[in-house]
Structure 1
Amino acid sequence: MLQEQESREREREREREREREKKKKTLNVMRGILMPWQLRCLPYYSIHFLGSGHLDDDGLPHGFCTVTYSSTDRFEGSFVHGEKNGRGKFFFFDGSTLEGYYVDDALQGQGVYTYEDGGVLQGTYVDGELNGPAQEYDTDGRLIFKGQYKDNIRHGVCWIYYPDGGSLVGEVNEDGEMTGEKIAYVYPDERTALYGKFIDGEMIEGKLATLMSTEEGRPHFELMPGSSVYHFDKSTSSCISTSVLLPDPYESERVYVAESLISSAGEGLFSKVAVGPNTVMSFYNGVRITHQEVDNRDWALNGNTLSLDEETVIDVPEPYNHVSKYCASLGHKANHSFTPNCIYDMFVHPRFGPIKCIRTLRAVEADEELTVAYGYDHSPPGKSGPEAPEWYQVELKAFQATQQK
């Protein structure tokens, strides 16, 4: 009898524990549902119904319901006695959403998190946490991350892709950061690489390497014997580089400087190899100055200036416009054309940081001169002519005359 009584008491205690857990889940409906990097807990909700949704005898959502939380987040999906079971979708107050299949109140299997700006993370969920393969896309649908998650943190070998075509790859640390001795930046050719020590994606010490192969997401690199050492070396307003005569290995394989084929243009930039359209050829690094500084000085001092963004202008001033004094990047050597074969484009460089690059518009032959449109304003407000140096205005008139014939 005593044993039976103890057994019944243990069973009642287990039942009370199940009830406590059920109430806990009811008061915190979203427990176990983690966003990419944070747990969302919303303790109170009000309920609206769609279709045949209704409350069960305990007043819990049952069937297909819309549940609105005190934070104004809402969930649309299937419930079984207060727990999410089946397909469902969260609509968060910031405009982001999370969609997938729920089992016993937790997201299981493939889930799709859509950021408020339209970016997407497609991941594998286990009991509401990201565990397994995941891919992330930007607002234009371009792949920006591919790898694994463990307990909601990036894990193992991961790839980070830049819009310009470059990428970072390596085994992330316990915080999911690109930190370690075996991280690599891979140039847009998906072959040339700088391999070595990185901290949170910043190159501390990299050596030239070649990406030989990739198997199941794991890259295999071959180091170049006797390679120079490269490190993150973002310019300032007074320092263009700490290694002014250290060429970029990717650029060195693709371009060279020689006398321009354009009359009175001085030196120009030429392609070493035949390439197709949309190929990054060269980099435009320089000191970083303000637009106001550029606007307040004579045109004679602005021969190698290029706007980076609303705040910053990149400049290659004397004496760095001579390759004997500076050859870490060569993009400033490209001359202007009203019918260019290249464009300036944004680029995140492992050594120079955010700069611009020169990218082909069409196929280019070996030894062909690379040209870009300098983009001076032809109709500035309050002025009768282009806001440009004298040589450009002369060339513009000549070009317009040929177009009218």
Structure 2
Amino acid sequence: MASASPPAAVAMADEAKLQKIELEDGSWMRGRLENGELQGRVEHFMADGTRRICTYVEGAMHGTQELLDGDGSLLSIMTFEHDQLQGRCELPLEDGGRIIAYIDASVEEQTEADDKQEMEGAKSGGDTAQVTNVEQERARGEQSKESSVEDEEDEEDEEEEEEEEDSMAALPEWLTCQIGAYIYPGQVCALIGRFHGGRLVCGHAGSVAEAEELINAAVVGRGHVALARWSCGCPCVGRQLPVYFGEAVSSTTIAERPLQPDPLEQAMVNVRPSLLPASGEGLFTSKPATAGTIVAFYSGVRVAQDEVDQRDWDETDYTLSVDDDCCVDVPPVYRSLGIYCATLGHKANHSFDQQNAQYEPCWHPRFGPIKCLRLLKDLAAGEEVYVHYDYEVGQILAEYGRAPPTTEPADAPQWFLEQLHRHLKATKVVGSATGPE
């Protein structure tokens, strides 16, 4: 009786059957060929350093595909049937959130036009809040001298559309589905509904368990069971729940629905008078939260960084950089909760010695790439959330012996500089300079 081969020997034999297949785009694949077709587990090494691991059946992708970065971290999970997206897909986000979806490529192609039409319809409904930039209006006035009114309106519409697309263009186009959910960081809650390119088309707030149950039902019933639970194939239709839409944020629009609160913020924070003297309103925790928890978001009108750099400091009190090119701003008219409460991150006050949170980049299903507020310490319910505004003050720190000498001037508003001097004098380090009198 022949003895069975040891597992190590079987693994070596299987490895020997693998072939390297080089492709014209610079990537290459490692897998097994049968009758000239890929079969079984295949690794695809992309030119950009990412790696795809998937299963092939008779030369076609069939099963789960994992996309990994160069360090092996998971970037996405997709499910295929005969080279077509079909099944559960998941996109982890860097901020700790994730999007899960049931995707049927054949259905999504047919409904893509409907999704775009629904997003356009969302723009015409609800409260529309706009803010006009004086310099832009002057520029438009000059242009009107050289062009017809119709041409000017067409150009403005095109610019508005480009701004809206840029503000949301951060997630892959394949993430388009009728049945999906954005899971908030920390698994606090979810927005369940339809998505287009990762952007919420329409949906409602729910629990993570509800979202997972819906996706699992869609996988088992190939979408039909889950869709049958909704009227018109949308989870928000026919239910007594607030409807959420992806917001068309631009340089003139802060939100189409500026008074619709965020589900995570409703659970995590509230706004009331700050504990700091003469600081107006502040942001407070509604329940205990641990370090690393995201408790709020910071959105606003989109403003180019170059434009912000030209403003006086008293015009940038509520401006926050999203990246090197773009900022979000909450103009004065929208700083009241009765006018704008779609995000609350702008309500957090600055503190030099009580900082317990910081702003970080994030993705939001309604607003796209913005900033979030993540805790640095554990907080009990009812504690105020403080951030450090982090202006350029190296020269002042050097004067007090808190930083190496520098010739770079301080770049901060006057109120911040005055508070900084008081803070440095009150927290004088033994043996350090006393700073200017």
The aligned residue for residue 183 of structure 2 is 186
**Could you list the per-position Cα deviations for residues 175-203 of structure 1 after superposition, in whole angstroms to 9, with x for gaps in the alignment?**
57444432222212335122223334322
Cα distance, 1:389 vs structure 2: 0.5
The two structures have a TM-score, normalised by structure 1, of: 0.72
Task: Quote the sequence identity (%).
Answer: 34
Within the alignment, does 1:205 sit opposite 2:202 as a pair? yes
Cα distance, 1:251 vs structure 2: 1.1
Q: CA RMSD in A?
A: 3.0
Cα distance, 1:396 vs structure 2: 2.1
Cα distance, 1:359 vs structure 2: 0.9
The aligned residue for residue 372 of structure 2 is 357
The aligned residue for residue 257 of structure 1 is 271
Within the alignment, does 1:344 sit opposite 2:382 as a pair? no
**Could you list the per-position Cα deviations for residues 231-252 of structure 1 after superposition, in whole angstroms to 9, with x for gaps in the alignment?**
1103111110111111011111
The aligned residue for residue 404 of structure 1 is 429
- Paired with 1:384 and 1:159, the residues of 2 have a C-alpha distance of 46
- Paired with 1:96 and 1:216, the residues of 2 have a C-alpha distance of 37
- Paired with 1:396 and 1:191, the residues of 2 have a C-alpha distance of 36
Cα distance, 1:215 vs structure 2: 7.1
Q: 1:343 to 1:203 in 2, by over 3 A?
A: same
- Paired with 2:198 and 2:416, the residues of 1 have a C-alpha distance of 41
For the Cα contact (< 8 Å) 2:306–2:325, is it kept in 1?
Answer: no
- Which of 94, 98, 108 is equivalent to 1:163? 94
- Paired with 1:348 and 1:161, the residues of 2 have a C-alpha distance of 11
Cα distance, 1:91 vs structure 2: 5.1
- Which of 212, 228, 241 is equivalent to 1:227? 241
**Could you list the per-position Cα deviations for residues 244-291 of structure 1 after superposition, in whole angstroms to 9, with x for gaps in the alignment?**
111011111101112222233221111111112211110000001112
For the Cα contact (< 8 Å) 1:85–1:105, is it kept in 2?
Answer: no
Structure 2: state its 5+ residue gaps.
Answer: 1-12, 109-173, 219-225, 230-234, 396-404, 431-437
- Paired with 1:142 and 1:189, the residues of 2 have a C-alpha distance of 19
- Paired with 1:232 and 1:122, the residues of 2 have a C-alpha distance of 32
More helix by proportion, 1 or 2? 2
Within the alignment, does 1:152 sit opposite 2:83 as a pair? yes
- Paired with 1:216 and 1:104, the residues of 2 have a C-alpha distance of 40
Cα distance, 1:139 vs structure 2: 4.4
- Paired with 1:112 and 1:170, the residues of 2 have a C-alpha distance of 24
Cα distance, 1:293 vs structure 2: 1.9
Q: 1:217 to 1:246 in 2, by over 3 A?
A: closer
Q: Match of 2:207, as an amino acid? A: T
Q: Which secondary structure state, in structure 2, belongs to the residue aligned with residue 294 of structure 1? A: helix
Structure index of larger Rg? 1
- Paired with 2:58 and 2:195, the residues of 1 have a C-alpha distance of 33
The two structures have a TM-score, normalised by structure 2, of: 0.67
For the Cα contact (< 8 Å) 2:302–2:327, is it kept in 1?
Answer: yes
The aligned residue for residue 369 of structure 1 is 384
- Paired with 1:371 and 1:303, the residues of 2 have a C-alpha distance of 16
For the Cα contact (< 8 Å) 1:168–1:184, is it kept in 2?
Answer: yes
Q: 1:365 to 1:117 in 2, by over 3 A?
A: farther
Which shifted more, 282-291 or 125-134? 125-134
Which shifted more, 297-306 or 108-117? 108-117
More strand by proportion, 1 or 2? 1
Cα distance, 1:385 vs structure 2: 3.3
Q: Which secondary structure state, in structure 1, belongs to the residue aligned with residue 204 of structure 2? A: strand
Q: 1:113 to 1:337 in 2, by over 3 A?
A: farther
Cα distance, 1:356 vs structure 2: 0.7
The aligned residue for residue 161 of structure 2 is none
- Which of 112, 128, 132 is equivalent to 2:59? 128
- Which of 299, 320, 334 is equivalent to 1:306? 320
For the Cα contact (< 8 Å) 1:234–1:353, is it kept in 2?
Answer: no
For the Cα contact (< 8 Å) 1:142–1:163, is it kept in 2?
Answer: no
The aligned residue for residue 296 of structure 2 is 282
Cα distance, 1:382 vs structure 2: 9.7
Q: Match of 2:422, as an amino acid? A: A
Question: Following superposition of structure 1 onto structure 2, how do residues 14-163 of structure 1 map, counting pairs within 5 Å?
Answer: 86-90=17-21, 96-139=27-70, 141-163=72-94
Question: Following superposition of structure 1 onto structure 2, how do residues 233-244 of structure 1 map, counting pairs within 5 Å?
Answer: 233-244=247-258
For the Cα contact (< 8 Å) 2:287–2:382, is it kept in 1?
Answer: yes
Cα distance, 1:404 vs structure 2: 1.6
Q: Match of 1:196, as an amino acid? A: G
Greater RCO between the two (CA within 8 Å, min separation 6)? 2
**Could you list the per-position Cα deviations for residues 377-404 of structure 1 after superposition, in whole angstroms to 9, with x for gaps in the alignment?**
2248996531001121122223333152
Q: Match of 2:389, as an amino acid? A: Y
Cα distance, 1:358 vs structure 2: 0.6
- Paired with 2:407 and 2:313, the residues of 1 have a C-alpha distance of 16
Q: Which secondary structure state, in structure 2, belongs to the residue aligned with residue 218 of structure 1? A: helix
Structure 1: state its 5+ residue gaps.
Answer: 1-77, 79-83
- Paired with 2:243 and 2:59, the residues of 1 have a C-alpha distance of 44
For the Cα contact (< 8 Å) 1:170–1:183, is it kept in 2?
Answer: yes
